[in-house]
Structure 1
Amino acid sequence: MKSFKADYVFPVCADPIKNGVVTVDDLGKIISVTDDKAQPSPDIPIEQVSGIIVPGFINTHCHTELSHMKGKIASGGGLIDFIKDILSFRAAETSEILAAAEAADQEMYVNGIVAVGDISNNSLTAPLKAKSKLYYHTFVEILGFLPESAEGLFNKALETVGEFKPQSTSITAHAPYSVSKELFKLIKRYSDTGTNLLSIHNQECEDENKFYRYKLGGFIDLYKHLGVDIGYFRPQARNSLQSIIPLLTNRQKILLVHNTCTNLKDIYFIKRFDRKINWCFCPNANIYIEKRLPKIDLFVNQGLNITLGTDSLASNSKLCILSEMLTLQQNFPTLSFDTLLKWGTINGAQFLGIDEEKGTIEVDKTPGLNLLTGVDGFKLTPDTKVKKLI
C-alpha cells in the first residue's frame, strides 16, 4: 500500500479535504480517504505532493481512429469544410492509423484520463483497446442518409460490434444530417431490446438546422459534392434536434455531443419527451471547427447532466480533459472548479455505467488519481497542469 498527502483532496462525492491523505493498494484500489490527523499505519509510505488530488478524468467523446489526421485540417473553416477534409484525408495505411491511435491512447493515459467513450466506424482499434490501460466503451457509428441503404448499413454495424466482443460496445447514429429516418428506426428497435448507449453529434453548426427546416444551406452543397441524391428529403417543421428526438429510444442513455447551436427552445422541447438525455461538450474542437462555443450557461441553468470530451486529434491539438476544463473556465468565468470537476469525472462515469469503479475517490473504487498543480485557490489558471499519480 501507498499513501499520497496533498494540500487538498477532492473526492467529488464529498467536500474537499484539506491536508488530505489517500491510501491505495498496489492495484490502485482506494483503501482510505482521510485528513492528516487520521493518517493510516506508520508502516505505509506517504508521498507528500503539492496541489490538489482529484479522480481520473472521463473522456466521453473521442475518435482515436482519426488520430493520424492531427494537423492535417486547417482550423476555423466550419463544419462543412471539415467533413470534406475528413473524407479527403481519412484514408491511410493501417500501420499509420494504428500507430497514431496507440500514441493517442498513451497521451490520454499520461493526461490522467482513465475511461473513454470512443467513436469507431470500423474495428481497427479493437486490439489496441483490448490491451489498453484505459477503459473504453466503443460507439460503433453508422452514417447513411439514403433510406434504401439503411438495412445494409445496420447489418454491417452489427458485424463490427461482433469484432469488438467482448469489449463494451453499442451501435449509434452519427448525426441528424447523416442518418435517414429509416436508419434511426432500426437503431431504435435495436436499442429497445437491450443495453445500447447512444452518442449522437448534435447541432454543430447553423447549417444543420437550416437543412432540416428549409432544405437549404451547406449540407445541400455537401451532398452534391459527394454525388448523393437526396431528392427524397423534405423540409421538416422543426430543426434537426427536435426532428430526431421522437425517433430515439426512451430505454437507453443518450449523449448529445457538441450542441454548438442548441438553444433554450430545444432544451424545453426535449423536456417534453421521456428521454434519458446527457450533454457532452468538446470546447476545444468547437473552437477549432466553428470558432464558437455552445451557450453553456443555458445548460447549467437548467441543471442538465453535462460531460466532457476531447473529440479527435483531427479537430484538437491534444487529448486532455483538463485542457477542455481550462477553455471553459476561460470563456465562462462563473463556472466553479467543483462543477467542472464533476463534468470531467463522475458525470461521465455515470453515463458510461462505470461509476461503481470510476469518477470519485471513495473506498473500494479504482478511479485513478490525478494531481493538479498551478491552481489559484479553487480556480484553474493557465498554469494549471495535471500529473497522473496512479
Structure 2
Amino acid sequence: MKSFKADYVFPVYAEPIKNGIVTVDDYGRIISVTDYQPASDQNQPLEHLSGIICPGFINTHCHLELSHLEGKVPTKTGLVDFIKQILKVRNGEHQLIIEAAEKADSDMYDNGIVAVGDISNNNVTIQIKAKSKLYYHTFVEILGFLPHNANELYANGLMLLNEFRPQSCSITPHAPYSVSKELFRLIKKYSDSGVKNLLSIHNQECDDENKFFRYKLGKFNELYEFFGMDTSHFKPQARNSMQSIIPLLTSKQDILMVHNTCTNLKDIYFLKRFDRKINWCFCPNANLYIENRVPKINLFIDQGFNITLGTDSLASNTKLCILHEMKTIQQKFPVITTAKLMEWGTINGAQFLGIDAEKGSLEPGKTPGLNLITNVDGLKLTPESKVRRLI
C-alpha cells in the first residue's frame, strides 16, 4: 500500500478534506480517504505533499488524429476560416501523424488524464488507443450537409465503427451546419435501435452558425461556396442551430453538446421542453484559440444538466490538459469554485462515458488515478498551478 497526505484532498463525491490522506494498493485501487492515519497503518510509509490531491481527469472531447497540426493553424481567425485552414493542412505523412498522436496520448497521461472521449474521422488512431494506458471512447464522426448522399455517408460511418470494435465506440453527427436532416434521421434511427450509442456534437461555436440557421446569412455561405456545395435545399429555420436539430436527436442516448460558445439562455430553456439526455462540454482554450471568446459558462450552472470538460485538439490548443482548461475557466469566472471545476473535470465526465464505477472520484474500491495539483492558493487554482500524476 501507499499513502499520500496533502494540504487538501478532493474526493469529489464529498467535501474537500483538509490535511487529507489517500491510501491505495499496488494496483492503484483506493483503500481509504481520511483526515488521519489509522493506528493499523502507522508502519506504512506516508508521503507528505504540498497542494491538492484529486482523481485522474476525464477529457470528454479531443481529436487525437489532428495532433500533427500543432502550431500549424493561425489563431483567432473565426470558425469558418479555421475550418478552411484545417482542410488545407490536415493531410500529412502517415508516420508523422502516428508519431504526433502517440506523443499526444503520452502527454495526456502525464497531464493526469485517465479517460478520453475522442473524435475520429478515420482509422489512424485504432492501434494507438488499443495500446494506450488511457481509456478511450471513440466517437466515429459522420458529416455531410447534402441530402442526396446521406445513405452512403451513413454506411461508411458504420464500416469505420466496425473497424474500431471491440474498443468502446459509437457513431455521431459532427455539427448542425455539417449534417443534413436525412443524415441526422439515420443516426437517430440507429440510436433508437437499442444499441448503446453515445453522441457528441459540436454546437454553436460561432455567431455565424446561428445566423445561418436563422436567416441563411453570414460566413457559412462562404464556407459552402468554398466546398462547391449547392445549399438551395436548406431553408432558414428562424431559430438557432441547436434549437433546429434537437427534434432530430434521439431521446434514448446521452448527448454531449461541445463548445457551446454562442449558446444562450433561450437555447437552454428551449432544451428543457424536450426529453433529451443533454450533457455539456466546455473547451475554453480552444474557443479562445479559434474565436477569441469563451462561452457564458455561468448560464449553464444549476440548470439541471451534466457539465464536463474537454481539450479539443492540438490544432486549436497549445496543450491537452484538463487543468489548463480549469485554470482558464476560473480566471474568466472567478465565482466558479475549484470544487465545482473538479466535478466537471472528473466524475461528470466519467458518468457521461459510463465509467464512473471505476473512475471520477476517490471512493474505496475505485481505480480513478491520482493527481497532485501544486502551486495553489488554499482551495484556489493559480496561473502557476501544475498537475503531477501520482499513480
TM-score normalised by structure 2 residue count: 0.98
For residue 283 of structure 1, what is the aligned residue in structure 2?
284
Stretches of structure 1 lacking an aligned partner (at least 5 in a row): none
Cα RMSD of the aligned pairs, angstroms, is 1.0
Counterpart position of 2:103: 103
**1:2 partner amino acid:** K
Amino acid at match of 1:152: E
With the length of structure 1 as denominator, give the TM-score of the two structures: 0.98
How far residue 374 of structure 1 moved from its aligned partner, in angstroms, is: 1.0
Work out the number of aligned pairs and report it: 390
Equivalent-residue separation in structure 2 for 1:26 and 1:93 (angstroms): 41
Would the alpha carbon gap of residues 143 and 36 (structure 1) be closer, same or farther in structure 2, given more than 3 Å must change? same
10 and 39 in structure 1: CA distance in 2 versus 1, 3 angstrom threshold: farther
The equivalent residue for 2:161 is 161
Aligned position for 2:28: 28
What's 2:390 paired with? 389
CA displacement 1:201-245 (0-9 Å, x = unmatched): 000001101111111111111111111112211111311100000
List 4+ stretches of structure 1 deviating above 6 A.
none
- Indicate if the aligned counterparts of 1:199 and 1:254 stay in contact, CA closer than 8 A: yes
Residue in 2 aligned with 1:8? 8
Q: Is the 8 A contact 2:21 2:37 kept in 1?
A: no
Choose 45-54 or 146-155, whichever is displaced more: 45-54
- Note the alpha carbon deviations across 1:142-185, whole angstroms, 9 max, x for none: 11001111111111111111111110000000000000000000
Shift in Å at residue 383 of structure 1?
1.6
Superposed, 1:282-361 pairs within 5 Å as 282-361=283-362
2:218 counterpart letter in structure 1: G
* Distance (Å, rounded) in 1 between the aligned partners of 2:14 and 2:268: 29
Aligned to 1:239: 240
Structure 1: distance between partners of 2:306 and 2:338: 16
Q: 1-side partners of 2:299 and 2:40: how far apart?
A: 44
Unaligned runs of 5+ in 2: none
* Conserved? CA contact 2:78–2:291, under 8 Å: yes
Q: How does 1:251-266 map to 2 (within 5 A)?
A: 251-266=252-267
Deviates more, 1:373-382 or 1:282-291: 373-382
Inter-partner Cα distance in structure 2 for 1:153 and 1:40: 61
Deviation per CA, 1:65-93, whole angstroms, max 9, x where unpaired? 00000000110000000000110010011
How far residue 8 of structure 1 moved from its aligned partner, in angstroms, is 1.6
Name the CA shift for 1:234/1:29 in 2 (closer, same or farther; >3 Å).
same
Q: Percent identity of the aligned residues?
A: 70
Name the SS of the counterpart of 2:32 in structure 1: strand
Displacement of 1:301 in angstroms is 4.4
Q: 3-state SS of the aligned residue for 1:36? A: coil
Q: What's the secondary structure of 2:41's corresponding residue? A: coil
Q: Distance in 1 between matches of 2:20 and 2:10?
A: 9
- Give 1:76's aligned residue: 76
Paired with 1:298 and 1:5, the residues of 2 have a C-alpha distance of 36
> Do 1:5 and 1:36's aligned partners in 2 also have CA atoms closer than 8 Å?
no
Cα drift, residue 305 of structure 1:
1.5
Answer whether contact 2:60 2:349 (CA < 8 A) is retained: yes
Alpha-carbon offset, residue 37 of structure 1: 4.2
Distance 1:62 1:192 in 2: 26
- State the partner residue of 2:207: 206
Tell me what 2:50 maps to.
Answer: 50
CA deviation map 1:106-136 (0-9, x unaligned)? 1100000000000000111010001100000
